[in-house]
């Protein structure tokens, strides 16, 4: 098996056994990026020289017997994470010229574990989008069909992993932005419990919703990455002070006695019946392994999309107020006065979707509308959380489709924002409740991957990783790769 077809766990074993060095491994992936990424556009910045230097350092550390859990393993970071001395653009014109003076906690922890950063991946501008078409650097293309979207906003990370340009990558999930692109690209993506992973150095979109997580081929790979990136961070007030669970030891735990809930709201009448069947087939596989399935209901889930598109833009309008052209980022030329500086810097530095959400959020927070919309949306959010709490009194995990369809053509929804927003209809409720959830590949329709979502109770990442791993031990959907046309 070629290096880029192997899982992260397999590559780790190869490094430990001396089958290849980190430099050889890193050179392999850098050559893949050089050869194939001009067609996919999954990377914004490639840090080749720094990657090779880090690989040499990892090889030296291993020779000294000082190898960390990710020693010598290459990965990519979504360009929303600050990286010291490297451009952190957030997929935007506004931060196109911004070089971060420090590392995000996620980046620092990965580096401390020995990981080698290949570069920064493309994304929807400021993580606002469901197709990776809002990026200032152009759309990412899905490696399974380059005329289709990879999903968003972590589409660059998902496409890079699926195409074998990186064995793993980081992503962020505000309303489904790890799970949705993972599903559309046929990889595994984990959105941890809110607060499980530090948000320090992760450029904020919606502070009460954003959460970093791993993207890789398998659940086992995601478990390895989560243990490296998770944990309390005193520098992040939203970080939860609790020990990091051992997610790897329990991966092979039996599913005998596991109770799986299937919410009727995940199977609406207008859902593509093939997507529904992919989900039910995955559940049947778990039943073969001893799981018990029960029907449940999440009645307020139908309000999750409208509630989200009040709360998230409101928080975005506040978070993005700092980008005004004064201290850093894009600045218009020859401003006439301070007002002109603000207006032209922000209108020129932000794209259409970001401007749309800032306007909606500012309106929702304005006098006369705050109570009518923002506070009401927050009350709905609590009802959604309560629905999940009642469900988890009866079940161990909840399952359903990750997305209502497979990857759609580039440009198909660009002119219809509301239709685009509905791409996250099955993922948003999880973010509003702050729960952990994972998307795993579970089938293909017309040659395109389809994903199934596993949702767990708070801080129960180990269980959903166990469920996904046992499923992946019995199936091979996560091992399938697109034909990239490259032999590098």
Residues marked active site are found at: 78, 153, 177
| 155 and 123 Cβ atoms separated by less than 8 Å | yes
Helix (H) or strand (E) holding 45: strand 43-46
Kindly list the distances between the CA atom of residue 423 and the CA atoms of 77, 276, 426, 432, 440, in Å, as whole numbers in the listed order: 24, 15, 8, 16, 17
Return the bridge partners of 448, or none.
Answer: 445
In angstroms, the CA 257 to CA 336 distance is 69
CB 396 within 8 A of CB 140: no
**Contact indicator for 169, 121 with CB cutoff of 8 Å:** yes
159 within 8 A of 143, measured Cβ to Cβ: yes
- Pair 122, 140: CB distance under 8 Å: yes
Residue 176, Ramachandran bin (φ over 0: left; ψ between -120 and 50: alpha; else beta)? left
CA dihedral 231, 233, 238, 243 (to 10 degrees): 30
Please give the backbone phi and psi of residue 226, each rounded to the nearest 5 degrees, phi first: -60, -40
Do residues 207 and 200 lie in contact, with contact meaning Cβ atoms separated by under 8 Å? no
Nearest to 125 by CA among 146, 150, 154, 99: 154
Is residue 219 a contact partner of residue 188, using CB atoms and an 8 Å limit?
yes
HSE toward the beta carbon, residue 142, CA cutoff 13 A: 25
d(CA 89, CA 76) in angstroms, rounded, equals 15
| Beta carbons of 438 and 188 less than 8 angstroms apart | yes
Chain centre to alpha carbon of residue 468: 17
In whole angstroms, give the CA distance from residue 378 to residue 367. 17
DSSP category for residue 113? T
What the block records as the tokens of 102 is: 């420090």
Q: Which of 200, 198, 191, 106 lies closest to 424 in space, CA to CA?
A: 191
3-state helix, strand and coil shares in percent for the chain, rounded to the nearest 5: 40, 15, 40
Residue 230 CA to residue 285 CA, distance in Å, equals 30
In eight-state DSSP terms, residue 42 is -
């Amino acid at each position: 098996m070629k290096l880029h077809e192997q899982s992260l766990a397999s590559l780790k074993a190869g490094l430990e056994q001396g089958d290849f060095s980190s430099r050889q491994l890193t050179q392999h992936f850098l050559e893949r990026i050089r050869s194939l990424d001009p067609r996919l556009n999954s990377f914004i910045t490639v840090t080749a020289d720094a990657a090779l230097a880090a690989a040499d350092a990892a090889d030296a550390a291993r020779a000294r017997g000082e190898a960390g859990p990710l020693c010598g393993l290459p990965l990519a970071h979504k360009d929303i994470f600050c990286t010291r001395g490297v451009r952190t653009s957030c997929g935007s014109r506004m931060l196109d010229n911004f070089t971060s003076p420090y590392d995000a906690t996620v980046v620092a922890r990965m580096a401390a574990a020995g990981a080698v950063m290949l570069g920064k991946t493309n994304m929807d501008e400021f993580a606002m989008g469901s197709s990776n078409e809002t990026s200032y650097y152009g759309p990412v293309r899905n490696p399974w069909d380059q005329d289709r979207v990879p999903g968003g906003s972590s589409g660059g990370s998902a496409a890079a992993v699926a195409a074998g340009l990186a064995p793993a990558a980081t992503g962020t999930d505000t309303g489904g932005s790890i799970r949705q692109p993972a599903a559309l690209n046929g990889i595994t993506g984990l959105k941890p419990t809110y607060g499980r992973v530090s948000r320090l150095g992760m450029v904020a979109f919606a502070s009460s919703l954003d959460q970093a997580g791993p993207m890789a081929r398998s659940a086992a790979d995601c478990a390895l990455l989560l243990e490296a990136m998770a944990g309390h961070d005193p520098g992040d007030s939203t970080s939860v002070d609790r020990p990091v669970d051992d997610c790897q030891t329990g991966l092979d735990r039996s599913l005998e006695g596991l109770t799986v809930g299937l919410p009727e709201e995940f199977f609406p009448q207008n859902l593509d019946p093939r997507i529904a069947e992919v989900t039910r087939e995955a559940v049947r596989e778990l039943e073969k392994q001893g799981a018990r399935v029960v029907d449940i209901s999440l009645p307020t889930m139908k309000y999750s999309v409208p509630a989200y598109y009040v709360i998230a833009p409101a928080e975005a309008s506040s978070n993005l107020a700092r980008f005004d052209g004064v201290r850093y980022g894009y600045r218009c030329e020859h401003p006439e006065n301070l007002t002109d500086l603000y207006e032209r810097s922000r209108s020129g530095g932000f794209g259409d979707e970001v401007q749309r959400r800032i306007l909606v959020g500012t309106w929702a927070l304005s006098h006369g509308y705050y109570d009518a919309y923002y506070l009401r949306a927050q009350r709905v959010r609590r009802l959604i959380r309560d629905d999940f709490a009642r469900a988890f009194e009866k079940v161990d995990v909840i399952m359903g489709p990750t997305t209502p369809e497979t990857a759609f053509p580039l440009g198909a929804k660009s002119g219809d924002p509301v239709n685009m927003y509905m791409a996250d209809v099955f993922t948003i409720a999880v973010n509003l409740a702050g729960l952990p959830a994972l998307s795993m590949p579970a089938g293909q329709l017309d040659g395109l991957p389809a994903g199934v979502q596993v949702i767990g109770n708070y801080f129960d990442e180990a269980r959903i990783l166990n469920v996904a791993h046992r499923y992946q031990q019995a199936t091979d959907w996560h091992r399938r790769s697109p034909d990239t046309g490259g032999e590098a």
